[in-house]
Structure 1
């Protein structure tokens, strides 16, 4: 998949999941339903229902979690799930990318300050435990480790 489309799917999924527990969740649900309705009208109602289910899962996680990591895990799983759906949709219908960008900017208000409309953004959360290493890059990353590591 085109890296730009993959990035767009990632941003859109994170934005939609973030909105699920806010007053803007219905706007996200309607916008995603409208996106699917453009090419798969028979699936749009299902997508809207699945967003409602995702919202219920996230609300339950927030209410029942003793550890904030549990909520983060639930959010990450939902972002991954919706990212996969959006990637498949964009892979099948790449022309929807412009509409998804419009939805993000106009309907969901996720355009970061100082960014252009056509430049996707990304939020990354990383947690390293014990002696693990984490490498994060927004573009190319080259790592050379010496000494048997």
Structure 2
């Protein structure tokens, strides 16, 4: 079961952190805290605080253009969730259902995060859908 738990934890950590900067943040946060409260109640408040601190770190990093932080935060949550699932494997199905509510992340999903860096005289054009650029 270890590879299955590791894969689920990877998916969950990535999804949770990716949704922190979107409109879906409150829903995923509530779902994760609910799972902890249900199975590990004494840690639920600490997990809530850790989620909020992670979100603050992510938003600060996005504001400064630090692209490394998101991956680091995802790795942290992947580890936390993997350890939680190892101690409480019965939660795996509940976590799968929670993640299914949000579907696979797509580039055009509302609230999608796009990163770009320009230097010198470079231009960056980003769009979640079709974009037509006519330069002269």
TM-score by length of 1: 0.67
> Where does the alignment leave 5 or more consecutive residues of structure 2 unmatched?
107-136
Kindly tell me: are residues 29 and 112 of structure 1, through their superposed partners in 2, closer, same or farther at Cα, counting changes over 3 Å? Answer: closer
User: Which has a greater percent of helix?
Assistant: 2
Superposed CA RMSD in Å reads 1.6
Instruction: List 4+ stretches of structure 1 deviating above 6 A.
Output: none
d(CA) in 2 for partners of 1:36 and 1:88? 12
d(CA) in 2 for partners of 1:111 and 1:15? 9
Q: Which residue of 2 aligns with 1:123?
A: none
> Where does the alignment leave 5 or more consecutive residues of structure 1 unmatched?
114-149
Q: Which residue of 2 aligns with 1:96?
A: 91
CA displacement at 1:111 relative to structure 2: 4.5
Q: Which residue of 1 aligns with 2:19?
A: 19
TM-superposition CA deviations, 1:91-111 (whole Å, max 9, x none): 0011111010011113xx124
TM-superposition CA deviations, 1:30-55 (whole Å, max 9, x none): 11100101111121121111111111
How many residue pairs get matched?
106
User: What are the equivalent positions in structure 2 for 1:100-111 lying under 5 Å apart?
Assistant: 100-106=95-101, 109-111=102-104
d(CA) in 2 for partners of 1:100 and 1:110? 13
